[in-house]
Amino acid sequence: MRAADALGLCLGSLRGHRSRSLMLLLAVAIGVGAVSLLTGLGEGARSYVLGEFAVLGRNTLIILPGRKETSGGMPPITGLAPRDLTLQDAAAIARLPAVLRVAPLQAGQVEVSVGNRNREAFTLGTSQQFFAIRQLQVGQGQPLPALDFGEARAVCVIGAKLRRELFGTRPALGEWLRAGDRRFRVVGILAERGESLGMDFGEMLIIPVASAQMLFDREGLFRVFAELRGPGLLASGKRQIIATIRERHEGEDDITLIGQDAMLAAFADILRALTLALAGIAAISLLVAGILIMNVTWIAVNQRTAEIGLLKAIGASAAQVRLLFLGEAGLLAGAGALAGLALGEALLWLGRWIWDFPLHAPWWARLSAALLALATALLFAWLPASRAAALHPVDALRPQAAR
């Protein structure tokens, strides 16, 4: 039997049972589309999180007060911070040879008002260096002035959304606003950016760190950002910072250093495992589609025993008969896989368009889904195809032979 004849028989059989063929094609398409869609969601979340952390730069360290680790015991005991991080600690870190920039942070919620307009705003006390470390762009005006960490000044930079809510259509630069019990003059307005690492800069009020300490009546810092002079100084920079704080804190190792590489590796592993789990869940639907193909192929064998007997009577071998049924299953799986990939990509594109989120199915997921659909279809069709191939021509041509 020529390959063209075999292909014609397979296509003719599929056209002759359109409803059954469409049902199988739809089952495979849904399975492949689900794999593509769910892995796209997982990879999108991974790309988004890694992109957010990449904003910090490879040379940035985050210094937190206290040892953020479990030290054992029943129940688990977390390390405590004998001392807060202070502005003097941040200044000592800034003097280290491996450190390029330092930005101390003080943070809290404050009621901000202009005239009869008021709202709660996340207020961040920091230095001018924070704008360079976090790559913040000022759309109007200028960033905070270059001040000593301990110097307070009644100036602020506000987010674009906060500007609209407080000032409406009026110009905001040079105007005064009230934050808590203090007044600040607006010297800059941040460019539109949105959320980053849990911070919505559009709704943020940024003031000098010493002013924030007076506003919140709190000396201890929330955290300190330190940018090193290069990736090659990451290890030595960590050692210098730890040694400096240990010396200042009476020999206590009471800080936690978080580098971008550590955060990226941890989140990448977690989100990669999540993506694989989602792909595994979606692949179960392909198993269901394979079982459906097996059942339908059994029915086809029982309904087409006369056709099988005729083919074998005119010289078709058992292998050729088996190949006909496997070819039908393979054609359905291939067409369903292509339709599923198109469906998944269409849904991911729609998600990108609606939510502006980086939804992309990885190439390995698309390829694996298509190959798995094909392998599942052939595997589950093998048994009924072998049953058809084993029929004797005389028995197959008798009425009710397959029962």
Q: Write the pLDDT tens digit of every residue in 47-86.
A: 777 666 666 566 888 898 876 654 444 434 444 445 789 9
User: Do 278 and 39 contact (CB within 8 A), yes or no?
Assistant: yes
Please give the residue that has the higher pLDDT: either 387 or 361: 361
Task: Choose from 92-106, 266-280, 304-318 the range with maximum mean pLDDT.
Answer: 92-106
Task: For the chain, give the percent of residues with pLDDT over 70.
Answer: 75
Which phi and psi angles does 80 have, rounded to 5°?
A: -105, 165
Please give the residue that has the higher pLDDT: either 103 or 256: 103
Structure confidence at residue 3 (pLDDT): 53
Nearest to residue 51, comparing CAs of 222, 167, 166, 197? Answer: 197
User: Do 187 and 125 contact (CB within 8 A), yes or no?
Assistant: no
Structure confidence at residue 294 (pLDDT): 76
Structure confidence at residue 207 (pLDDT): 96
Tell me which of 29-43, 99-113, 176-190 is least confident.
29-43
User: Do 325 and 349 contact (CB within 8 A), yes or no?
Assistant: no
- Give mean pLDDT, residues 243-259: 86
Give the whole-angstrom CA distance, residue 261 versus residue 290.
Answer: 43
Please give the residue that has the higher pLDDT: either 343 or 15: 343
Residue 181 burial (10 A CB sphere; 0-12, 13-18, 19+): exposed
User: Do 282 and 40 contact (CB within 8 A), yes or no?
Assistant: no
Structure confidence at residue 221 (pLDDT): 92
- What confidence tens digit (pLDDT) does each residue in 104-147 have? 999 999 999 998 899 999 999 999 999 988 888 899 999 999 99
**CA distances for 19 relative to 14, 22, 23, angstroms:** 9, 5, 6
Nearest to residue 237, comparing CAs of 259, 220, 215? Answer: 259
**CA distances for 85 relative to 134, 268, 339, angstroms:** 20, 30, 58
Provide the pairing of β-strand 182-190 with 155-158.
parallel
DSSP labels, 164-227: HHHHTTS--TT-EEEETTEEEEEEEEEPS--EETTEEGGGEEEEEHHHHHHHHT--S-SEEEEE
